[in-house]
């Protein structure tokens, strides 16, 4: 049985939900973030904040949450002409993909995560990619994750498992999953507490906007990342019948 995991942790809604999931299942969990020259570099600050508030609010998780690692991948930003690594308008590219797609980003992330997991003796790599509610990025697809798992395991001659807890659920279900994980960790308000952490501290917006507070959290409200997050929040709230299940 696996008992340790490395979570690809950007400090966004998805990776925070994946971190909570890993902390609920593994004895030792470490996190890794990637500085690749992203225009929403504020996520590098927020990810540390999210770790701190999770540790403060959930004592059981605090005991399991281990070291954080940051890997400098600015070279990736230097070779990427995308709206995530350049100050340019977000639009569809000729390929049909949004120009926020950073070619090879998740492949590079997983390769470095695999090397780190090997060195740290961690058995599972957790990634918050999703093929249900996403922007069409090919490196978020299930087939890509399976191929990378095979390549890493063969290339390092050690069985590494890539887990993708969000792969087949939409953003509404991701909000619901977070609430359930928090509640399981602390039946006395843990669900609402984890959702509140997502609202107040995680960062998703491609424009690094943290001045505008919406009911679903901070962001510009216009970029694709904000649109997905807002739609997921609305869907979850509607599924609850408008009940006050979390701070708004």
- Using H for helix, E for strand and C for coil, what is the string for 204-231? CCCCCCCCCEECCEECCCCCHHHHHHHH
C-alpha 92, offset from chain centre = 23
User: d(Cα 136, Cα 221) in Å, to the nearest integer?
Assistant: 19
Task: Compute the half-sphere exposure of residue 233: CA atoms within 13 Å on the CB side of its CA.
Answer: 21
Task: Compute the half-sphere exposure of residue 98: CA atoms within 13 Å on the CB side of its CA.
Answer: 16
Any idea which residue has 């902390």 for tokens?
Answer: 23
CB within 8 Å of 118: residues ≥ 6 apart? 156, 158, 160
Rg of the chain over all Cα atoms, to the nearest angstrom:
17
Q: Which is it for strands 65-72 and 124-126: parallel, antiparallel or unpaired?
A: unpaired
Residue 207 near residue 40, CB atoms below 8 Å: yes
Alpha-helical regions (H) of the chain: 13-25, 42-57, 59-64, 74-78, 105-120, 142-156, 171-185, 190-201, 224-239
**pLDDT, position 245:** 45
**pLDDT, position 247:** 46
**pLDDT, position 207:** 85
Query: Residue 164 — φ and ψ, nearest 5°?
Result: -130, 80
User: d(Cα 82, Cα 84) in Å, to the nearest integer?
Assistant: 5
Cβ count near 155 (within 10 Å): 13
**pLDDT, position 246:** 45
**pLDDT, position 41:** 75
Helix or strand holding residue 28 (H, E): strand 28-35
Residue 31 near residue 39, CB atoms below 8 Å: no
Nearest to 5 by CA among 106, 120, 169, 97: 120
Nearest to 81 by CA among 71, 93, 69: 93
Any idea which residue has 């491609």 for tokens?
Answer: 206
Sign of the torsion formed by the C-alpha atoms of 105, 28, 56 and 228? positive
* Per-10-residue mean pLDDT, the chain, length 248: 95 97 98 82 91 97 98 76 53 53 81 97 96 76 95 96 96 97 98 98 91 95 91 95 52
């Amino acid at each position: 049985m696996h008992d340790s995991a490395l979570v690809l942790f950007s400090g966004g809604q998805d990776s925070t939900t994946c971190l909570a999931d890993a902390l609920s299942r593994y004895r030792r969990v470490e996190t890794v973030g990637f500085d690749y020259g992203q225009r929403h570099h504020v996520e590098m600050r927020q990810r540390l904040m999210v770790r701190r508030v999770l540790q403060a609010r959930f004592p059981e998780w605090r005991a399991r949450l281990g070291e954080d690692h940051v890997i400098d991948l600015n070279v990736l930003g230097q070779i990427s002409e995308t709206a995530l690594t350049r100050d340019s308008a977000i639009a569809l590219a000729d390929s049909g993909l949004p120009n926020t797609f950073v070619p090879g980003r998740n492949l590079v992330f997983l390769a470095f995560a695999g090397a780190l997991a090997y060195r740290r003796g961690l058995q599972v790599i957790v990634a918050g990619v999703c093929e249900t509610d996403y922007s069409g990025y090919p490196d978020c697809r299930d087939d890509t994750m399976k191929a990378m798992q095979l390549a890493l395991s063969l290339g390092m001659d050690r069985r590494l498992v890539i887990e993708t807890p969000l792969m087949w659920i939409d953003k509404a279900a991701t909000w619901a999953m977070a609430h359930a994980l928090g509640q399981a960790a602390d039946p006395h308000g843990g669900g609402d507490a984890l959702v509140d952490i997502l609202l107040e501290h995680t960062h998703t917006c491609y424009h690094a906007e943290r001045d505008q507070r919406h009911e679903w959290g901070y962001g510009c409200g216009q970029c694709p990342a904000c649109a997905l997050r807002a739609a997921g929040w609305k869907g979850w709230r509607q599924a609850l019948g408008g009940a006050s299940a979390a701070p708004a």
